[in-house]
Structure 1
Amino acid sequence: MADEKFIPLGHIVVTGGSGFLGNHIVSLLASRKAYTKLTVLDLKKPAEPIPGVNYQDADLTNYDALLSVFQSLKADAVVHTASPIHSMGNKELMYKVNVEGTKNVVRACQETGVKAMVHTSTASVVHDTKSDLVNANEEYPLIMGKDQPEYYTVTKAQAEIHVLASNRTKEYPKFLTAALRPSAMFGEGDVQLIPPGLSAYYKGQTKVQIGQNDNLFDFTNIVNVAHAHHLALAALLATREREDKGGSAPLDHEKVDGEAFFITNDSPVYFFDFARSVWAAAGDKTELKQVWTLSKDVGLLIATLMELVFWLFRMGKPNLTRQQVQYTCMTRYFNIDKAKRRLGYMPVVSMQEGVDKGVKDALYRGVVRGQPMDLKGKKNQ
């Protein structure tokens, strides 16, 4: 993949380009020289800006200011990743950024002649956080309203609906859009998946398992998600170029514009097998015969009691919550045949490579609660 030649896609704008996914997209596009100009719109610059990339402050919730930025940029395409962190729990901010901000980005694109937009959605839009998902595909309905307990997911679903409805509208028939739905992203720069998992290792919790570990789960390396965004962007722009030259629109079974795509590592794993691979990468030597298995019901009881105690004494969030028990014991994996066929998507980073790099990176950054601080800043743990 490193030696492959990529076609420059023109002036690309990445919203949220300083964040976890956005920064990986920027880094990947830069490594592939896949643009003539690359601009990041975010509230702040990353700790390590990528040379040659244009970074600009931008508030997506201020339409007039955003339009002014877009008018000056004259972008060819936009990758929209900007979103508050899921765990923040601020409903007003989630709606303002995920829904209103996305609508502002779409409108600014349309009014300044942007050709294409790839939107980052989430695989959770088809999940009620309780039911098992077995080989779920894009035909599954979005779960919203009273059936969706996660407000963050509601706002991501609303944003996705708007983005896809903005594809080839009567007023802007040449503006093309697509949405990608990654599942459980992890990797270098991760703050929500690998660091908490490693914290369990350093707290000595690797000898306890909740459930029988017979539930498959899709985890997705962040570089693969970035790769999928590049492919979707290239597909939309190729469609636009072909039609501008008088060519025909894609057939229904091959079109990318107006479509949503699940993105995974295409290798679902048993939930605790993933956790153990993370622990092993940090040095854990626990053997399966040493593991004490608790049933899901017992796990839920313990989590309920912990949540109650932590709430009564205002101690913050406990190490184990009922939601975590639910996810630990559920089956949740997706069919990515559509992304394979229409985007030409295949993972470029394996699960094990992604885990190894993600663990080393988390320890290097010192973001794991309970980790030995002498590992912080060391490249070779």
Structure 2
Amino acid sequence: MEREHVLVTGGAGFVGGWIVKQLIEQHPEFKVTILDVEKRDSWRSSQAGIDFIQADVTNEAQVKSALETAKPSIVIHAAGLVPAGNDRYSPTQEVRDRVYNVNVNGTHHILNASKSVGVKCFIFTSSITIVSDDVDHIYPNVDETAATGNASLVYGYMKGIAEKIVLDTNSTDFLTCAIRPSVILGPGDYQLLPTIHRCIAKGETPFVIGSADNLYDFVYVSNVADAHFLAVENLLTTKTAAGEAFFISNGQPIPFRHFCLAVWADFGHVPKFQIWIPTSVAWFAGFCAEWATWLTGTEATLSRGSVKDYTQTAYTNLNKSREILGYQPRVGLSEGIRLSCEVRDSKPCKNIITAEIE
């Protein structure tokens, strides 16, 4: 395989950083450039052969200049904005505009600049949320034939728009595809595990909403990085991934409650008792909590949106990613939780995860 030049947008972030880290380990023959609004950190600056360009994907002129300077042959577009907390479920117009500007306009800018400098392969980091953010419905064993565009939450809706733009741009001389990770965990995660961990201090771990048997998908971050490399390799060789989207998960859907218990156990916490709350009661409590947070300006764990998220069934079928990309998760879910938690606490992970569906 000839020497390629890969530019990773968002390469200073959580997912992008892992893509860069594993890219230089698995493909040392590639030249790598990071494009990010944030400056590189110490580990990246110490790596020989990695260039860094500071640019904001929402600024078309900066993006155009950056791509003209780098002239990559491959682009992995991992930059994006994920709203957290209340902004995920009840975003203000300002938040909606910011999410659109980063995830949709930013993708437009990267795509246009990539085509203008002769990029031949473009891999977009999409998300399971383009389907599962339609939280009024369940999605068991969902595959890539599922309709998109129905997401009711802002992140999944905007990601869906961006993914369609990318896939519609696919052509014989500009190959594109999309990687749709499930909920991602790993060292550097600033949303999922920290939110679950905070429930310990808040005394919220005994509360069980609904039946707690709804299956949910997760994926360890290095497995996500692997999927991106497999997409690159495919587009450079057989090209069977061109114009396609691929769900990526650990292939181990489990009840969301079990996942939380595993995380808490890794920090040495096991609830001493459980209080079961009917979903309808929790939904009403979430409505009240939303009003309380609006009045006080504070952030609460509970909301109507979080109740729907917690009780939703959403896990994916990996047949397409296995058959076309050759994807297999190398890091299992229990190991992924242990690796994710040990950066905050050295206690061993207690293996509560037992469910697995292939």
Query: Please, what TM-score do these two structures have when normalized by structure 2?
Result: 0.89
CA distance in 2, matches of 1:108, 1:379: 47
Partner of 1:286: 271
Partner of 2:221: 222
Could you say what secondary structure the match of 2:39 adopts? coil
Q: CA deviation at 1:237?
A: 1.5
Deviations 1:333-352 (CA, angstroms, capped at 9, x unpaired): 11111000000001011101
| Runs (5+) with no aligned partner, structure 1 | 1-6, 240-249, 365-377
CA distance in 2, matches of 1:265, 1:65: 36
Q: 1:124 to 1:9 in 2, by over 3 A?
A: farther
2:57 matched to 1:55?
no
Deviations 1:20-71 (CA, angstroms, capped at 9, x unpaired): 1000100111222344310000011243342122111012223233222212
Two-structure CA RMSD over aligned residues (Å): 1.9
CA distance in 2, matches of 1:86, 1:110: 29
Counterpart residue identity of residue 294, structure 2: W
CA distance in 2, matches of 1:208, 1:311: 23
One of 14, 18, 31 as aligned partner of 2:12: 18
2:282 matched to 1:302?
no
CA distance in 2, matches of 1:216, 1:224: 20
Q: 1:342 to 1:40 in 2, by over 3 A?
A: same
CA distance in 1, matches of 2:284, 2:335: 36
CA distance in 2, matches of 1:203, 1:197: 10
Partner of 1:95: 100
Q: 1:328 to 1:9 in 2, by over 3 A?
A: farther
Runs of 4+, deviation exceeding 6 Å: 378-381
Partner of 2:352: none
Could you say what secondary structure the match of 1:86 adopts? coil
Q: Is the 8 A contact 2:24 2:30 kept in 1?
A: no
Q: CA deviation at 1:174?
A: 0.9
Partner of 1:154: 157
Output aligned runs, 1:230-249, within 5 Å. Answer: 230-239=229-238
Partner of 1:133: 139
Q: CA deviation at 1:293?
A: 1.3
CA distance in 1, matches of 2:157, 2:37: 24
2:245 matched to 1:266?
no
2:298 matched to 1:316?
yes
Query: Please, what TM-score do these two structures have when normalized by structure 1?
Result: 0.84
CA distance in 2, matches of 1:129, 1:160: 19
Partner of 1:327: 309
Q: 1:117 to 1:9 in 2, by over 3 A?
A: farther
Q: CA deviation at 1:380?
A: 9.0
CA distance in 1, matches of 2:244, 2:307: 33
Output aligned runs, 1:331-346, within 5 Å. Answer: 331-346=313-328
2:39 matched to 1:45?
yes
Q: CA deviation at 1:329?
A: 1.1
Deviations 1:155-192 (CA, angstroms, capped at 9, x unpaired): 21111111001110xxxx31100001111111110111
Q: CA deviation at 1:137?
A: 0.6
CA distance in 1, matches of 2:209, 2:301: 14
Partner of 1:210: 209
Q: CA deviation at 1:101?
A: 1.3
Q: Is the 8 A contact 2:209 2:282 kept in 1?
A: yes
Q: Is the 8 A contact 2:261 2:270 kept in 1?
A: no
Q: CA deviation at 1:201?
A: 1.9
Partner of 2:332: 350
The count of corresponding residues between Structure 1 and Structure 2 is: 337
Partner of 1:367: none
Deviations 1:220-271 (CA, angstroms, capped at 9, x unpaired): 11111111011111111124xxxxxxxxxx6xxxx20000001110110011
Counterpart residue identity of residue 66, structure 1: V
Q: Is the 8 A contact 2:241 2:324 kept in 1?
A: yes
Partner of 1:66: 63
Counterpart residue identity of residue 121, structure 1: S
Q: CA deviation at 1:359?
A: 1.3
2:122 matched to 1:117?
yes
Counterpart residue identity of residue 12, structure 1: V
Q: Is the 8 A contact 1:25 1:229 kept in 2?
A: yes
Q: CA deviation at 1:14?
A: 0.1
Q: Is the 8 A contact 1:119 1:177 kept in 2?
A: yes
Larger radius of gyration between Structure 1 and Structure 2: 1
Q: 1:319 to 1:61 in 2, by over 3 A?
A: closer
One of 66, 77, 80 as aligned partner of 1:80: 77
Q: 1:97 to 1:299 in 2, by over 3 A?
A: same
Counterpart residue identity of residue 68, structure 2: Q
Counterpart residue identity of residue 134, structure 1: P
CA distance in 2, matches of 1:28, 1:13: 14
